[in-house]
A and B are shown apart, each in its own frame.
Chain A
Amino acid sequence: MNDPVYDVAPWLVLLPLAWAGLAFVWGPGRGARLALAGTALQLLLTLRLAAELLSLGGRRHAVGGWGAPLGIDLAVDGLSMTMLLLTQAVAFAVFIYARAYFTDRSADGDGHGARNHFWPLAGFLLAAMNALYLSADLFNLYVTLELLGLAAVGLVAAGGNAAQVSAALRYLLVSLLASGAYLLGVALIYGSYGTVALSALPLMSADAPLAVALAAALMGVALLLKTALFPFHFWLPPAHGGAPAPVSALLSALVVKATFYLFLRLGLGLFAPLGETIAWLPGLLGSAAIFWGSWQALRAQRLKMLVAYSTVAQLGYLFLIFPLLAPDGLALQAGVMQALSHGLAKAAMFMTAGVFLQVSGRDAVADLAGVAGRLPVTLFAFGLAGVTLMGLPPSGGFLAKWLLIDAALAQGRWGWAAVVIAGGLLTALYVFRVVRQAFASTEARPPLAPVPRTLEWTAFALAAASVLLGLRGMEVLHLLDVGAAS
């Protein structure tokens, strides 16, 4: 097969596996440079893949030719392509940050464990995510989900202090439970239809066997559990809020998006007919997530917990799209735009939290007084990321919000529009809670540790990207359109 798409795709899985393996062999704390080079290469390959996909137009490349004898089919369409781009871009920035974050550290805060195991685990995480976006059958998707969960748990646990280990254990249990449920669902599907290839499976019809309905329920709950949609969010704040900043950034920006992607993919494809009856449910849970997450973020004492609860709230927006999915495509566009802009902004926000932590050794929101004058770049980055999360123009989050409200009003469904608007205002409350504290003038000026500029500027770059994404909405939607028709 000489289709350029499939020449590139396998490398997106093999490259991270390769550098992760090498980093593991080289020993603790090493392999950062290799990881950076590998990720840069992945980013270039993804860009090339995106260009190929665009130039090939609206054709659907459902089944890949590579490795067919091995039973591994790869597929790319606009939806998975946007997620692949997000993944490589955020990972690249986070890795530059992580290299500076983990090297010149004394024994404060996050400990050496995280530093020692970061690179191999991050590589496996990236390989699993890329494989997930490229997979075209339910069983391979299960394998990638399992790998993704294990790598993520490993990253949370790697810090090694008690809170991190307990958060990781809880995360592990949730992850295993969810994977088990998902696998059971896959088995039921296989039993009913005799195949697990997404392209070969029929749309679930009204007279589908009970087993298929059960499979839909099992797989749905499994994915919601892994995506931490309210009320399944309980594991997320301690895991994301407790991990070292680069890990939190990867988890909050990327890992939960991967399971959301799978939920969306199945909801648009295999289980689409279910939407008419129960699409309100994810929407309702999403609304609850927005209110509950924002409320908890408002009350959080620690900055990283605030940001983690903000993730709980922002994930809610992703699920608001399900009741609004319609042929006009507005809701789907809104969901993807939200996933992209939240990915960039949330990574940036955790990275700024990491800077504050490194500089002052403390993580309480109350300790941020006077930071505006001393770490202007980092505060600016936090503010820009906040603009995206609040959905204020000209950010990508604003476009997502606009599309979502437009979709709701076009169908005359006021309630959902009201949730979006209210959610934006709640976000403003907790974002400005931090900004306000940073502007406060203070007598006490505790000594600040010097911080590598790389940390400040990588966070800034991601935050700025999340805002500028709002000016490139057309490109994103254009890419998303590829293969969406069929």
Chain B
Amino acid sequence: MTASQWLPLAVLASSLLPGLLIFALPEERIGLRTALNLFGAVAKLTLVGVLLVGVQAGNTYSVGYTVLPGVDLMFKADALALLFVSLSSVLWLLTTLYAIGYLEGSPHRSRFFGFFSLCVTATMGIAMAANLFTFFVFYELLTLSTYPLVVHRGSGAALRGGTIYLAYTLGGGALLLTGIVWLHSLVGQVEFTHRGVLSPLSPHYADQLRMIFLLLIAGVGVKAALVPLHGWLPNAMVAPAPVSALLHAVAVVKAGAFGIIRIVYEIYGVEFAQSLNLLLPLAVAASVTIIWGSLRALAQDDLKRRLAYSTVSQVSYITLGVALFGPVGTIGGLVHLVHQGIMKITLFFCAGNYAETLGTHKVSEMNGAGRRMPATTLAFSIAALGMIGAPLTAGAVSKAWLSDGAQALGLEWVGWVLLASSLLNAAYFLPILYRVWLKPAPARWPQEHSAAQGWRETTWLLLLPPLLTAAATLAAGIYADSEFSPLAWAQLIARREYLTPVP
């Protein structure tokens, strides 16, 4: 086996094996469990680093295994896969640190971290899947491995949230499977290929291909929380904060958005999808989701629910970028995959910190929290400003590329959607910032805990991750033009997708 074959497998194994070992560990082996977690995460980052250098140099990494005649389990680490892989593996490390701090002393940690690792393994599989079959295998694995995390607390609300989550995701999986097998029976196994594989098909199949597109997009749209398939996301908020981070930034919604990218670009191909008139409806669905999510976010007083609806809205920026035919919009969508991840994970880390230290779960209880927890609130503010699209943040970069992409197509209404969304984002984030920084703190917090060690706010394990991701939000905005930014990588992908010079 050559290096180009075992590297993708090693990326999978670096979270799968620690995960399986962790399941076997007794609850009280905290040190060993932490060591395994961190070893896996660091090993994965190293491997991903090697892959990044290789792919930039033009190497290909792929490996396959035949499951049934004409059906292969295949992995390949290409530029697009690595965009998602690097995002997830960096955030996995930070989330693991955060979760270790967050769950200190709570029961069933071996189970939690075991499924956590499986969940990341599934995400890696989704990112590196080389065909729809493999994608589906890991897509369902992701559903199964996140369920125990969503219901982790075992309360009535958690179980209800878990059931709703399953109902949506398994239903979506069934649609996806139907679409995949249908496509399989039409054209056999298709590998993800730049510029798509279906365009040589005779026009006779156009209607069937449209139906299949609908099935596939609806299938992955559930995880991407496209309206009206988004209902599970706000309900899954009952999960512990690290799980929310996982759902919203590292794995689940990203898997859905990533699936849309693969299907549009590498199964249908943008040009072919455009010729079937599939992109405009997708853009409309994304726009509706963007506006609807923001409107619903406005009405939520529960901080995590507000953030959840904000995710519904923000993830559809990615879909919108995909649906904007042309390299500029593509870059906007791709780069937002990363940018939304780092900004949203910051917000959820901070929400978790507020809940842990002060016991505040509602926006209306957050008056003056900034003075009590300045570091957390600073991180929160940066990420919130990023979401709004304030200059010097990652969000500004995504939004600029997206609106340029829309302009290049002459789709004026998309520009209005983006503007409206930014205003709505401001309308639901700025009042929070006003409350936390400028309003006086209450005499008593709902449930105050002071950390035994670390800063006054909370332990460093809970503080470091949001500060790092907030710094990354700024860096991705300020240094967007550097050679190693997410933007540069998105441009690389777009160049390979369109085979044309990219701005």
Contact = CB atoms under 8 A, between A and B. Distances in A.
A406 interface: yes
B178 A421 contact: yes
Interface of A: 370, 372-373, 376, 380, 383, 387, 390, 392-394, 398-399, 401-403, 405-406, 409-410, 417, 421, 424-425, 428, 432, 435-436, 439-441, 470-471, 473-474, 477
A108 B8 CA distance: 52
Contact of B170 (A405, A428, A439): A428
B154 A370 contact: yes
Contacts of B182: 409
Given A387-B144, A473-B68, A474-B68, A421 B174 contact: yes
B114 to A, nearest CB: 10
B382 to A, nearest CB: 36
B71 interface: yes
A399 B68 contact: yes
Interface of B: 23, 65-69, 71, 73, 107-108, 111, 136-138, 140-141, 144, 147-148, 151, 153-156, 159, 162-163, 166, 170-171, 173-174, 177-178, 181-182, 184-185
A441 B137 CA distance: 31
B163 A432 contact: yes
Contacts of A477: 68-69
A376 B111 contact: yes
A392 B178 CA distance: 13
Nearest to A474: B66
A482 to B, nearest CB: 16
Contacts of B159: 436, 439-440
A473 B154 contact: no
Contacts of B173: 392
Contacts of A409: 181-182, 185
Main secondary structure of the interface of B (DSSP, over half): helix
Contacts of A441: 153-155
A216 to B, nearest CB: 32
B162 A425 contact: no
A471 B151 contact: no
B163 A436 contact: yes
A392 B140 contact: yes
A432 B66 contact: no
Nearest to A401: B177
Given A402-B71, A425-B171, A477-B68, A394 B137 contact: yes
A421 B179 CA distance: 12
A425 B177 CA distance: 12
A409 B179 CA distance: 11
B154 A440 contact: yes
Nearest to A391: B177
Contacts of B73: 394, 471
The residue among B66, B67, B159, B162 with the most chain A CB atoms within 10 A of its own CB is: B67
A440 B173 CA distance: 25
A425 B184 CA distance: 21
A399 B184 CA distance: 14
A405 B137 contact: no
A439 B107 CA distance: 13
Contacts of A370: 154
B68 A403 contact: yes
A440 B153 CA distance: 8
B108 A373 contact: yes
A89 to B, nearest CB: 21
B69 A406 contact: no
Contacts of B162: 436, 439
A406 B184 contact: yes
Contact of A425 (B66, B140, B170): B170
B44 to A, nearest CB: 21
A439 B151 contact: yes
Contact of B185 (A401, A410, A474): A410
A470 B136 CA distance: 14
A251 to B, nearest CB: 29
Contacts of B66: 474
Contact of A393 (B107, B141, B148, B185): B141
Contact of B177 (A383, A421, A440): A421
30 contacts: A370-B154, A372-B108, A372-B148, A373-B108, A387-B144, A392-B140, A394-B73, A394-B137, A394-B141, A401-B177, A406-B181, A406-B184, A409-B181, A410-B185, A417-B181, A424-B174, A425-B170, A425-B171, A428-B170, A432-B147, A432-B166, A436-B163, A439-B154, A440-B156, A441-B155, A471-B73, A473-B67, A474-B66, A474-B67, A474-B68
Contacts of B65: 471
A399 B73 CA distance: 12
A351 B151 CA distance: 25
Given A471-B73, A477-B69, 11 more contacts: A372-B108, A373-B108, A392-B173, A398-B137, A405-B178, A409-B182, A424-B174, A432-B147, A436-B159, A436-B163, A440-B154
Given A409-B185, A424-B174, A439-B159, A402 B154 contact: no
A477 B107 CA distance: 45
A387 B163 CA distance: 16
Contact of B67 (A373, A406, A421, A470): A470
Contacts of A401: 177
A115 to B, nearest CB: 32
- Lowest 3 A-B CB distances belong to which pairs? A441-B154, A393-B137, A409-B185
Nearest to B178: A421
A220 to B, nearest CB: 30
B9 to A, nearest CB: 14
A477 B71 CA distance: 13
Given A392-B144, A393-B137, A402 B178 contact: no
A373 B69 CA distance: 41
Contacts of B148: 372, 439
Contacts of B107: 373
Given A399-B68, A471-B67, A406 B140 contact: no
A393 B140 contact: yes
A336 to B, nearest CB: 13
Contacts of B151: 436, 439
Contacts of A440: 154, 156, 159
Contacts of B68: 399, 402-403, 473-474, 477
Nearest to A407: B185
A471 B65 CA distance: 9
Contacts of B138: 393
Nearest to B68: A473
B185 A406 contact: yes
A371 to B, nearest CB: 11
Contacts of A383: 144
A373 B153 CA distance: 11
Given A376-B111, A474-B67, A405 B154 contact: no
B484 to A, nearest CB: 36
B306 to A, nearest CB: 27
Contact of B136 (A380, A393, A471, A474): A393
Given A393-B141, A436-B159, A436-B162, A417 B174 contact: no
B297 to A, nearest CB: 29
A373 to B, nearest CB: 6
Contacts of A405: 177-178, 181
Nearest to A442: B154
Contacts of A390: 170
A419 to B, nearest CB: 12
A373 B73 CA distance: 34
Nearest to B148: A439
Contacts of B108: 372-373
A470 B137 CA distance: 11
A383 B115 CA distance: 13
A473 B69 CA distance: 9
A327 B141 CA distance: 33
Contacts of A398: 137
Given A436-B151, A473-B68, A402 B181 contact: yes
Given A406-B185, A432-B166, A417 B178 contact: yes
A441 B238 CA distance: 14
